[in-house]
Chains A and B, each alone.
Chain A
Amino acid sequence: MKKKTLKVIFAIVILAFLFIQVYPVLWLFISSVRPSAELATKPFSLPTSLTFQNFAKVWSDGKILGYMWNSFKVTAISLILIVFLSATAGFALSKFKMKVNKAVYSFFTFGIMVPVQITLIPLFIFYSKTGVLNTSMSMILPQVGFALPLSVMMFVSFYSFVPNELIEAAVMDGCTPYGIFVKIVFPLARNTVITIASMYSILIWNDFIFANTFISDSKAKTVAMGLKDYVGAFGNIDWGSTFAAITISILPPMIIYFALNKWVTSGMTMGATKG
């Protein structure tokens, strides 16, 4: 008897917390298909009718596509750079016999402690001098720089599982270091690449602080910034459009998350425990 009540309480607690974690996000989705009039009167009940007007409105004004394209550009270029730079640097640090390796590795890991805010003023000044403000490049540079410490660490820890004998054998066969990397080591790192790419695609897509600092031209705005812009443009009355815009913009990370769930969480967990 006692065991049974305990079980019921347990289930209620798990479900209640599930509600707290999921309902708010679900509510964003529901609000986007709710008629605007209803949003003002009873925003938290189930909608009596569904409407796609909010989406139509956001879509027709055409801005959101541009914002999505900018976010995509920044995310894609950053990801390619992060994977390429950390895969090569990690290879150098773990498969070359160099005395400086230890020092260089700690130099990279030190970056985990550095708060991103430190870059805002210097980069802003540098960008305004060189005309990089309001370009995708202005966000890519710090995104990649701050991703490197963790991604280099992840590659180094993966490469440490690649046996040195394998590389020795390749050297004997006359393979150059470049050949070893391209033909042997990098193809093995598939899981590490997916982990890093899935995690950073979400983090970079969601970035607010760099976009907010370096971008003011609406041509270069990313989705996260664009959302803020929508609220202003429609005023506080038309929440419907805001929710529709939010829904459109959080769909890509959601899709990546549900498709690559295992990798996203393992990457973020690693990020936490390596700090």
Chain B
Amino acid sequence: MKAEDAKGMDINMGIIQNKKAYAVFLLPALIFYIFAVFYPIEESIRLSFMKWNGIGAPKFVGLENYAAMFKDKVFYTALINNLVYLVIVVVIQLSVGLLFAILLTYMKKRVTLVKTLYYIPCIVTTVAIAQLFRSIYSTEPLGLLNQFLAGVGLEHAATSWLANVKTVLAAVSVPEGWRFIGMYMVIFYAALVSLDPSVYEAAKIDGASELQILFKIKIPLIKEILLLTLTMCLTGALRGFDIPFLLTAGGPGNASEMMSTYMYKKAFSSNQYGYGSALAVFIIIESIIVVYLLRKAFTTREDREIKQMEKVQRKQRRSGK
């Protein structure tokens, strides 16, 4: 869970020297992993240079699929939709998750119970969540959302959320955002309570307010966890599939099309396996770029963080005297 073992774990410290036993222990997992994860990557890349409808022999077409992709209007629609989806999902998950993690640190009783209950949506299958939101958004019979709007006097805002081109994208993003709030909250909470209280107790004695302590000390100290969760959250949203696919299948038209739902349709509905593979390769490149950029952001932040820690400690020592 600590960031240091995620990256700099010293792996080369075993002592058994027996090549045969080593192979016996390692190879089954390695072969399974290569076959399930790397063989498909290799095949996707290969297929992305082919034209194939599933029957007969695939035809090599070079970069044609990629050229077609960059000329495809739906591809750009999906890309932009995916970005909007990503922003909504990330904002909901991280901001609400952090807010409630902070609130829970001020709770004295029943924290575990509340945490356990907040987490429940994470363990419900996406198919059930899609069904749930389908009825929340429904107009006939009147769903929870439209009932609520009517109740607070906003009848005119009621709409058929999943059929309306203007609202559908937000309507498929919110369930995905909602579903993982609990998980991010648990992560942030664990990070916040693991902080050494002496660091901020000192500031308290110096007369810092609760809010100052929160924004100037606690949040900067968990910055690393914030960036880690951001990576997780972003790559998760870039692959978003289940809920948009189940709720609208990308519709109406392409109003809620994601990269992955578009890929899925191209491959399995239109039988354009080559083009679908090109889209799949694009998704993987996209994810790797995001992870790479965020990891870079990490390392520079980390250095600054160490300095910040030292500063806090110095301050603490001074106030301790």
Residues of A near any B CB (own CB < 8 A): 10, 13-14, 17-18, 20-22, 24-25, 27-28, 39-41, 43-44, 81, 84-86, 88-89, 91-99, 101-102, 104-105, 108, 111, 113-126, 141-142, 144-146, 148-149, 152, 156-157, 160, 164, 167-168, 171, 176-178, 180-181, 202, 205-206, 208-209, 213, 223-225, 227-228, 231, 239, 242-243, 246, 249-250, 253-254, 257-258, 261, 264-266, 268-270, 272-275
Closest 3 CB pairs of A and B: A145-B36, A89-B29, A122-B43
- B98 within 8 A of partner (CB): no
- Whether A44 pairs with B147 at a CB distance below 8 angstroms is yes
- B207 within 8 A of partner (CB): no
How many pairs, one residue from A and one from B, have CB atoms within 8 Å of each other in the complex?
290
- Whether A246 pairs with B131 at a CB distance below 8 angstroms is yes
Bound complex: CA of A84 vs CA of B280, how far in Å?
31
- Whether B182 pairs with A21 at a CB distance below 8 angstroms is yes
- Whether B40 pairs with A180 at a CB distance below 8 angstroms is no
- Whether A88 pairs with B28 at a CB distance below 8 angstroms is yes
- B298 within 8 A of partner (CB): no
Contact of A208 among B17, B126, B229, B291 (CB under 8 A): B126
Bound complex: CA of A231 vs CA of B182, how far in Å?
28
Bound complex: CA of A104 vs CA of B291, how far in Å?
20
Contact of A148 among B29, B242, B260, B276 (CB under 8 A): B29
- Whether A148 pairs with B33 at a CB distance below 8 angstroms is yes
Contact with A along B229-265 (1 / 0, CB 8 A): 1011001001101100010000000000000100110
Could you pull out 27 A-B pairs where Cβ atoms are within 8 angstroms? A43-B135, A44-B144, A88-B29, A94-B11, A101-B12, A104-B26, A117-B280, A118-B40, A119-B40, A121-B43, A121-B44, A125-B54, A142-B36, A146-B37, A160-B9, A160-B13, A208-B125, A224-B125, A224-B126, A224-B127, A225-B127, A242-B131, A246-B127, A249-B125, A265-B115, A269-B187, A275-B235
- B41 within 8 A of partner (CB): yes
Q: B25 — which chain A residues lie within 8 A by C-beta?
A: 88-89, 91-92, 96, 177, 181
Residues of B near any A CB (own CB < 8 A): 1, 3, 5-6, 9-19, 21-22, 24-26, 28-30, 32-33, 35-37, 39-41, 43-44, 47, 54, 96, 100, 103-104, 106-107, 114-128, 131-132, 135-136, 141, 143-144, 147, 178, 181-184, 186-187, 190, 225, 228-229, 231-232, 235, 238-239, 241-242, 246, 260, 263-264, 267-268, 273, 276-277, 280-281, 283-284, 287-288, 291
Q: B117 — which chain A residues lie within 8 A by C-beta?
A: 18, 21-22
Q: A254 — which chain B residues lie within 8 A by C-beta?
A: 123
With A92-B22, A148-B33 known as contacts, the answer to whether A120 contacts B267 (CB < 8 A) is yes
Chain A residue, CB-CB nearest to B113:
A18
Chain B facing A: main interface SS: helix
Q: B21 — which chain A residues lie within 8 A by C-beta?
A: 96, 176-178
Contact of A171 among B16, B26, B287 (CB under 8 A): B16
Chain B residue, CB-CB nearest to A258:
B116
- Whether A208 pairs with B123 at a CB distance below 8 angstroms is no
Say how far A257's CB is from chain B's closest CB, in angstroms: 5
Q: A111 — which chain B residues lie within 8 A by C-beta?
A: 33, 37
Chain A residue, CB-CB nearest to B6:
A274
Contact of B127 among A113, A142, A228 (CB under 8 A): A228
- Whether A86 pairs with B123 at a CB distance below 8 angstroms is no
Chain A residue, CB-CB nearest to B96:
A17
- Whether A272 pairs with B232 at a CB distance below 8 angstroms is yes
Say how far A36's CB is from chain B's closest CB, in angstroms: 12
With A92-B22, A121-B47 known as contacts, the answer to whether A227 contacts B9 (CB < 8 A) is no
